[in-house]
Every structure is written in structure tokens, then in C-alpha cells.
Amino acid sequence: MKLLVCEGNPHCVKVLAVLELTGVKCDVQVVQNEERVVPYLTRPVLPVLLLPSGQHLFSPNTICQYLFDVSGQKATDANNQWMEWETTDLQPAVFKALHMMALQGKRSEAAAVMKEPLRHLEQNLSKRSTQFLNSDVITIADIVLWAALYPVLSDSSFEAGDLRFVRGWFDAVGIQSACQTAAQKVLRGNSSEALKAFLQKLPAAQTQRRDGPTSSSSAEAEDTEHVMSEQEIEDAAKMWSTGLRDCGAAPQRNHPILPQEGKRNVLLTSALPYVNNVPHLGNIIGCVLSADVFARYGRLRGWNLLFVCGTDEYGTATENKAREEGLTPRQICDKYHTIHASIYKWFQIDFDFFGRTTTDRQTEIAQDIFWRLHERGFLLEETVEQLRCETCQRFLADRFVEGVCPHCHYPEARGDQCDKCGRLINAVELRNPQCKVCKETPVIRSSKHLFLDLPKLEGELEKWLDQSTAAGDWTTNARHITRSWLRDGLKPRCITRDLQWGTPVPHPDYKEKVFYVWFDAPIGYLSITANYTDQWEKWWKNPQQVELYNFMAKDNVPFHSVVFPCSLLGAQDNYTLVNNLIATEYLNYEDTKFSKSRGVGVFGDMAKDTGIPSDVWRFYLLYVRPEAQDSTFSWSDMALKNNSELLNNLGNFINRAGMFVCKFFEGCVPEMLLNDDDKRLIAVVTWELKVYIQLLDKVRIREALKCILNISRHGNQYIQVNEPWKKIKGGDTDKQRAGTVTGVSVNVACLLSALLDPYMPTVSQTIRTQLQAPPNCTGAMMQGAGAFICTLPAGHRIGTVSPLFQKLENEQIEGFRNRFGGQQPEEECDKGEVDTHIPSTASADTKLSAGVELNSSVNVKADPERARRLAEQVTEQGEKVRALKAQKAEKSVIGEEVAKLLELKKQVALAEGKNQEPSNQKAKKK
């Protein structure tokens, strides 16, 4: 192997440090930054690892991962998540900050760029109990993150505020000889000259990288911002001029939807939400909303797609909920099924069928699979010890017992799995177990049960997994979680329970038992489809024609990638197995956890009462979708994104384009004579459209949303530079130019309506109605690789144009934060340890009103040191705002920074111990 590096390139620091740390034998060659060492790339790229096979690896993190694998060290799930965060969040911020610091001298702006990633790292480090990121020994994640941050944090002039934990970790990693040697070799210690020379040769576009291929086996070999070639510009302009062809409108959905020969047949499921409680925002984004975006996208692309979901209704949790509310389990299921359905309808989740698991078809199909497994020898009978709560007079389901994990000692492990280390647990193995209903200590009792013989199916499962993960789209966490289950070998899995509310086990020796919910619930996908159409087997026993997508949060992964596939493989009935498993991380609420019992967080039935449209909720949840790591719902950030991205960016552009047509051209799209600037915009928009399609084809939902905002940003800049409101007052040439700019802009707005359809369906339809867009325009632009065409030609008459979005005011946001903040003391919020499935006896309304009262009357304790630090940040932010105004920057950019300034001032007041009076009280005093 040969590793090629260059001086000044921060990426080379990490690969050299990893090389020395792992001790892998490899030749190292220092080359010039401009040297093209990968022959088929159109630009130079370093570092590069040349493998013995002749293949090139040119993603720094992939090289690091390869070296660790070769050395025999396996990366953990936690390490992989940190690596992905470094690629998607930290790395772009670092390169942007370095460009500002080294080449522009904008140190305060650079600190602002780094603020969010450093805050995220500081918060995570503050919660750890180990010396390094994930353990007491240094790992690949420590090296990669340290090397990324080294050029910034080793600069003594860089001021990033209080980073006690980041600094401690950074110094601990930096004293490693491997890190010191690599930094000295590449960046000459702390010298900025080598780095500056490297950055000067780096195109500005490369300071903001996009995810791209990592090796020569990738289909495309570019991972930076695209620079338009003259040929691409001409091709885009030519495609634009073809206009709408004779393609009909998107086909209407005719039920029942069944697989069709010669079509791409997509079966899409979302994890079945448990019926015993109201879903919160994290539940919604984790499964049904993400699935809905992809379903809407697939329909736009012309796929033959069926989207099914429903409520999971059996199990102990339902029995307990029924007892608490004085209802029967059936009545509880009826009640909450209706609540779930109404919530998803308000969020515009467009299921083809939303069913439930408490049906005759569920019993029929589950029992059929059971008998097939039994007849083929894939079931075992064992007497097991179980935990029984004598107070509640019942055996405890796994999720209703909690204790200390026997493996990692996490104090809140569940009876089936530890959320911290991910290991499987038998409930009786827990130390200090507690019944989660009554908090009493359960006792151990014996009972005879049936087990799915997973070890007997392991070989067949691994063979299928290799095929599915290689050919399909499995998220990184789905792959890692699945492999972690297989790493130590599978164990038999109990599929029966001593309960009453469940699918009955048909075996005569087990007539008093029901199926365990994790054996039974995934079969709900089949039974729900069977309740939709009696031809359900055309979807579920047709793997040759059907492509199956599963959407879920990461805690559901092993049951969909191991347990359920083993059940279907063992049944040997040609079942359709998952091709693409899409799992999210967790969404937190304002740095804590959602809790219905404490009144913390927004739950589905509450979102409507805020008056914020469902499309805005959808937009923000998808904007912060936890694709690669846990993310946080924040009221202030939601307001910021609404006011800057929706109102000032997207809405501003679409409204201006339509208003120019109405005001200057009497509602008719003017004639368009394209010049080079127009063609370049069309090419850039075409490129973003293609990237949007590539990302959504791979279910990169959050990243694809950024393409929409990029297009409107390009559109705003195009209008701002060309100033049609001025040119319309000039001579014929200027008026013609105003007409072209207006016509191109309104066509970009029409494209945006198509791209928004999966994300904000009501806004999308409103735009098309205002523009009177042809019904076939969306499908025409979304086919194949994507084509931006002139769908609103000269002479097309548009309708009435009006604003799409409203500003969220600070007073509103503060009110929402108080209303949904709960009534717990602050120190309890940090624990975030409440099971949302166990509500308290107090009503939600009582708790919410109590929470608002407490928040409005509490005396805030002053923190002089924090106030001083925040005051310094206010000064820096104020200078930044003044500089932007002096440079006549875009209103959206200035507005975003002003919002940050106001928020900082508010934090200063709180740190000084001043109560924030509601605005209406201030008005009365005045």
C-alpha cells in the first residue's frame, strides 16, 4: 500500500496519525497539492491510499477506517456516528472557518461558524464518564475529530468561549505521539503558513463540501461543489427551451394498488406506532413523516407505490393503560387508534391504508407463520425464569421492567435491551430490577415458553443480509446495529408471553399464552395490507417484483433486520423481505427528552393548537431530521428557520417572482430572451434538481431539502443582481431584460412547487394554484435524472399571488417554550429519564397550565460570569451585524444574524437575574 499526502492539508493529519497509531505497514509519499494522483478524477485530490488491488481510496475518513480495519480494530456504532457527524457537520464548518481566519482575517465570523459544532461536542463530552469520546482508550473517532479541529483550536487567536470539556479532550488526544508527529509533518506544528498556502490553492467552492463518493468504486468521483462547464450550461439551456411536451398529468391512484409488470413496485411501511399513548414530534419524524416524504416523492417519480401503516395494539402496555383509564383493552385501542389517525391526518401523512393489528387477519396470518415455523423445526420449547410483580399480579413484559445493565452497568436498561450498549438482555439478568408500573421489586418465577431458533436460521439470515445491504439502501446505523447483533452469535428468542391481550398461540400446550409483541407486531404489515386488499400476497409473497422499504427509529432496527426476517425465512413461503431499511436517530426536545407525564415537549395533538401550519411543522422537523446523529427540537431555532429560510428566502423569492408578473406584466408571463447569466442560473438550478433527485433516491431526506433552499437562494441573488423593478422603468432593452428575469424567476418558482411537494404539500399546491401551473409540470420535471424546463411559457396567465408564510414573533416563541416546558425543576430536566408510555394521573392540561404559572413567577438566579461571557458575544455579534449592513448583504442573512443578536441579549438579561416580562405586561405599564 502507498499513502500519498501533501503539506498544509488538514485531512492528511488524520490519516498520518491513524497510520502511526495502528502500526499498519504502508509507504508514505509527500506530493504537491496540485498533483493529480487519481488518474480518472478531473481535479487533484489528497490524501489518497493506493491499495494493492490498484483501487484508490480518497475519502480521508474512509482511509482512516480502512487502516483501523486492517489493524484488526473494529469501529463501534458510537465511533461511526462521530465519524459521520465529522463528515456532515464539523468538516464543512471547519473549512469555512479556516478560510475566514487564514485568508480573510475574519476571526469573529469564524468563531460564529464554529459555535454550533463546538457546542454540540462540548455537550456530549460533558456527559461522558470516559477519558476519550467513547472509552478510556483512544479510538478512530478521537483521531478524526481531533485532526479536524487541530488547525482551529491550536490557533491561539481563536476565541470560542468556554469549552472546558472540549479543551480537556483536545489536549488529551493531542499529547499522543502519533498526533504530534502528524501535525508536525503536515502543518509544521502550529505554523499557519503551510495551511494558508494550501487554502490559497483550494477553490473557494471546496470550503463547503458535499457528501460524495469515497473510492474508485463509486459511480461518480466528485465530492465538492459543482463548477458548471460551458457544455453543461448550454445543455441546460437547451433542455429548458424544449418546454412541456405531450406528457399527461400524474396518474391518479386507483385502489387497490397492486404490483404491475414492468413498473418499479415499491412497498413502503412505517414502524407501527404503539397505540397506548399520543405520539410526540420525535415519534412522528422517526417513522411516519419520513416515510410520507419518500412516498410522495416516489409517486412524483412515477413509481407504483403502496404506503401502509397502522397502530400496534397488543401487549402489556395496552392492558396497563386500560386499567389506568378504567376501560377495556379494546376500548383503549379504539380510542387511541382514532387519536393517532387524526394526528397523522393533520400532519398530512398520506397513507394508502392506515390499519391496526387487532384484527382477524392478524390472527390468521400470525398463526399461519407460527405453524410453518413449528413444522419446519425452527421453534424450541424451554422453561424460563421470568420476573413477576406480586403487587400487580402479573408477569412483567420486558419493557415494563427496568434495572442496571449487567454488561455496561447503565442504570436504566430495559428488560429486553440496553439503550446504552445495545446488548440483548434477559429481564432476569438485570440488577436491582423494578416494576415500572408500581416501582416494587419483582420476584422470579418459572414458566414454559416457545422460542424462535435464531441460531438455526443464522446462516440463511447472513446470506440474505449480505445481498440486501449490498444492493439496497440501509442507513449506517441500521447496518451497524444489525451487525452488532450478529457479532456474538444469535440466541434463541422467546416468542410467547403470559398475557391475555394478544394474538392467541394456537398450540394446545400453550392455549393460555399469546404471542410476544415483537414476534407479532411486524406481521401487522402483512395483515394491514390484507385488510386493504385480499390480493395482499401479490405484495408480500412477490420478492422478484416488489422492493420493500421500512422506516423506523433506530431502537426498532434489530426486530426488523433480524427477528422478523428470520420468522419469514423460516416460514419458507417466498415472503418479500426488506430491501431498504431506513432508521433515524432520536429527536430530543430542547436538550431533554419528551415526556407526556411531565408536560415536556410537543405531542401530536398539541401541534395543531399552536396555530402554526402543519407544513411549517413538517419543514422544521425534516430540517432537523436526525439522520446521522441525535438532533434537537428548539423553539428559537424553529423561529429562526421559519423567519430566515421560509419567510425571507423561499417565500420571498416565490412571492417576488409572482408579484413582478402581476405588477409589471398584467399577470402574463413575459417573453424571455436568455443571455449568459440566465443560462448560468438555469444550469445551476438544473444541477440542484439533479442532486435533489440523487439524494432522495438514496433517502437522504434532510440533505435534499437543502437543495430546495439553495435554489431559492440562487433565485433571490439572480433577482437582486438584475433588479427588474428598476429595469422595467427604462428603455425597450431594459424592459426586455426585466421581462426575461421575471419569466425565468417565475419558472424557477414553479419548479420549487414540485420539489416542495414531498415536504410541504399544502404550500406546494398553493404555489401551483397561484401560478396556474399546468397539471403535468411536476411529473415532467421529476422524471429520470430531472429536467428543469420552461413550464410557464410567454403568454401564460398566472392567478392571484399572496405571501406563503408568516413571521414567528419572539413573544409567541417564549409563550410556546413556557407552555411546553413542563413543571419539573431544572435539574430534573437534565436527566431526561421519563418513560412516555406511563402517564401520570394528572391531566396534561392541568400540568401545562401549572408549568406556565411557575415559569412566569420564578426568580432567576444571577450568574455574573456567564453574563460577562454572553456580553462579549453580544458585542461580537453586534459588530457582525453592522458589518453585514455596511456590506449591503441580503436581508435574509442580516435577519438571521439579528435574530441571533436578540437571543443573546435575552440570555444576558437572564444571566443578570432579570425576569423577562411578557410583552403585554410591559405594554400595560407603559
CB crowding 305-319: b at 16 or more within 10 Å, else e: bbbbbbbbbbbbbbb
Q: How far apart are CA 828 and CA 925, in angstroms?
A: 35
Q: Which helix (H) or strand (E) holds 310?
A: strand 304-311
Burial (Cβ within 10 Å: 0-12, 13-18, ≥19) of residue 882: exposed
β-sheet bridge partners, residue 402:
414, 434
User: Who contacts 466 (Cβ-Cβ below 8 Å, separation ≥6)?
Assistant: none
> 81-90, 112-121, 212-221, 322-331: which range is least confident on average?
212-221
pLDDT computed for residue 124 by the predictor: 85
Q: What angle do CA 256, 260, 262 make, to 5 degrees?
A: 160
Residue 582 has, within 13 A of its CA and on its CB side, a CA count of 30
| Residue the block writes with cell 422478484 | 544
User: What type of residue is 127?
Assistant: K
Helix (DSSP H) and strand (DSSP E) numbers for the chain = 38, 20
Q: How many CB atoms sit inside 10 A of residue 42's CB?
A: 11
DSSP state letters, 35-91: ---STT-SS----EEE-TTS-EE--HHHHHHHHHHHTTPPPPHHHHHHHHHIIIIIH
User: What type of residue is 409?
Assistant: H
Cβ(877)–Cβ(901) under 8 Å? yes
Cβ(455)–Cβ(491) under 8 Å? yes
Judged against a pLDDT cut of 60, whether residue 484 lies above it is answered with yes
Q: What average pLDDT score do residues 322-345 get?
A: 94
User: Who contacts 70 (Cβ-Cβ below 8 Å, separation ≥6)?
Assistant: 22, 24
What 8-state DSSP symbol labels residue 545? T
| Percent of residues, the chain, with pLDDT higher than 90 | 52
pLDDT computed for residue 430 by the predictor: 92
Cβ(539)–Cβ(375) under 8 Å? no
Region of residue 590 (left: phi > 0; alpha: psi -120 to 50; beta: else): left
Task: Compute φ and ψ for 316, nearest 5 degrees.
Answer: -65, -40
The total number of residues shown for the chain amounts to: 926
> Minimal CA–CA distance to 79: which of 150, 119, 137?
137
Q: Which helix (H) or strand (E) holds 401?
A: strand 401-404
Q: What average pLDDT score do residues 70-91 get?
A: 79
Q: What average pLDDT score do residues 862-890 get?
A: 66
Strand, coil or helix: 48: strand
Pairing of strands 304-311, 379-389: unpaired
User: Who contacts 307 (Cβ-Cβ below 8 Å, separation ≥6)?
Assistant: 268, 269, 270, 291, 292, 295, 350, 351, 352
pLDDT computed for residue 110 by the predictor: 84
Distance of CA 92 to the CA centre of its chain: 18
- 652-676 pLDDT, tens digit per residue, is 999 999 999 999 999 999 999 999 9
pLDDT computed for residue 835 by the predictor: 32
Strand, coil or helix: 860: coil
Helices 761-771, 732-756: crossing angle, 10 deg rounding: 150
Q: How far apart are CA 270 and CA 37, in angstroms?
A: 45
Judged against a pLDDT cut of 60, whether residue 586 lies above it is answered with yes
Q: What average pLDDT score do residues 774-787 get?
A: 87
Judged against a pLDDT cut of 80, whether residue 634 lies above it is answered with yes
Q: Could you tell me the end-to-end alpha-carbon distance of the chain, in angstroms, rounded to an integer?
A: 76
User: Who contacts 755 (Cβ-Cβ below 8 Å, separation ≥6)?
Assistant: 689, 692, 707, 708, 711
Judged against a pLDDT cut of 90, whether residue 542 lies above it is answered with yes
- Mean residue pLDDT of the chain comes to 84
Q: Please give, one letter per residue, the 3-state secondary structure of 887-899.
A: CCCCHHHHHHHHH
Alpha-helix residue ranges (DSSP H) falling in 669-782: 676-697, 701-722, 724-727, 732-756, 761-771, 777-782
Res. 204 pLDDT band, cuts 50 70 90: very low
Strand, coil or helix: 587: strand
pLDDT computed for residue 250 by the predictor: 61
- 493-527 pLDDT, tens digit per residue, is 999 998 889 999 999 999 889 999 889 999 999 99
Sheet holding 401-404, edge to edge: 413-414, 401-404, 431-435
Q: What average pLDDT score do residues 890-915 get?
A: 70
Helices 289-300, 614-623: crossing angle, 10 deg rounding: 100
Judged against a pLDDT cut of 50, whether residue 834 lies above it is answered with no
Q: How far apart are CA 158 and CA 619, in angstroms?
A: 35
Res. 40 pLDDT band, cuts 50 70 90: low
Q: What average pLDDT score do residues 442-460 get?
A: 93
Judged against a pLDDT cut of 90, whether residue 412 lies above it is answered with no
Q: How far apart are CA 283 and CA 602, in angstroms?
A: 11
Q: Which residue has the higher pLDDT, 729 or 916?
A: 729
The grid cell for 828 is 430534573
Distance of CA 128 to the CA centre of its chain: 24
Q: What angle do CA 553, 834, 287 make, to 5 degrees?
A: 15
Q: What angle do CA 171, 177, 180 make, to 5 degrees?
A: 65
Res. 855 pLDDT band, cuts 50 70 90: very low
Strand, coil or helix: 642: helix
- 353-380 pLDDT, tens digit per residue, is 999 999 999 999 999 999 999 999 999 9
Res. 866 pLDDT band, cuts 50 70 90: low
Helices 164-174, 177-187: crossing angle, 10 deg rounding: 90
The grid cell for 153 is 483550536
The grid cell for 632 is 434537537
Residue 480 has, within 13 A of its CA and on its CB side, a CA count of 20
Judged against a pLDDT cut of 50, whether residue 478 lies above it is answered with yes
DSSP state letters, 139-165: -HHHHHHHHHHHHHHT-TT---S--HH
pLDDT computed for residue 334 by the predictor: 96
Res. 915 pLDDT band, cuts 50 70 90: very low
| Percent of residues, the chain, with pLDDT higher than 70 | 86
| Residue the block writes with cell 465570523 | 109
Q: How far apart are CA 496 and CA 498, in angstroms?
A: 7
β-sheet bridge partners, residue 509:
none
Q: How far apart are CA 636 and CA 902, in angstroms?
A: 11
- 103-149 pLDDT, tens digit per residue, is 777 778 888 889 888 988 988 888 888 889 888 888 999 999 999 99
> Minimal CA–CA distance to 206: which of 38, 91, 40?
91
Task: Compute φ and ψ for 366, nearest 5 degrees.
Answer: -65, -45
Cβ(587)–Cβ(624) under 8 Å? yes
Strand, coil or helix: 804: coil
- List, in sequence order, every beta strand (DSSP E) within 208-293: 265-270
Judged against a pLDDT cut of 50, whether residue 209 lies above it is answered with no
> 155-164, 245-254, 271-280: which range is least confident on average?
245-254
pLDDT computed for residue 778 by the predictor: 85
Sheet holding 493-494, edge to edge: 394-395, 379-389, 443-452, 493-494
The grid cell for 84 is 459521520
Q: Which residue has the higher pLDDT, 316 or 478?
A: 478
User: What type of residue is 881?
Assistant: V
> 5-14, 30-39, 717-726, 829-838: which range is least confident on average?
829-838
DSSP state letters, 609-631: GG---HHHHHHHHHHT--SSS-E
> 23-37, 97-111, 256-270: which range is least confident on average?
97-111
Assess whether the previous peptide bond of 256 is cis (omega < 30° from 0): yes
> Minimal CA–CA distance to 494: which of 419, 363, 383?
383
Q: How far apart are CA 297 and CA 704, in angstroms?
A: 11
User: What type of residue is 275?
Assistant: V
pLDDT computed for residue 560 by the predictor: 96
Q: How far apart are CA 417 and CA 419, in angstroms?
A: 6
| Residue the block writes with cell 417564549 | 814
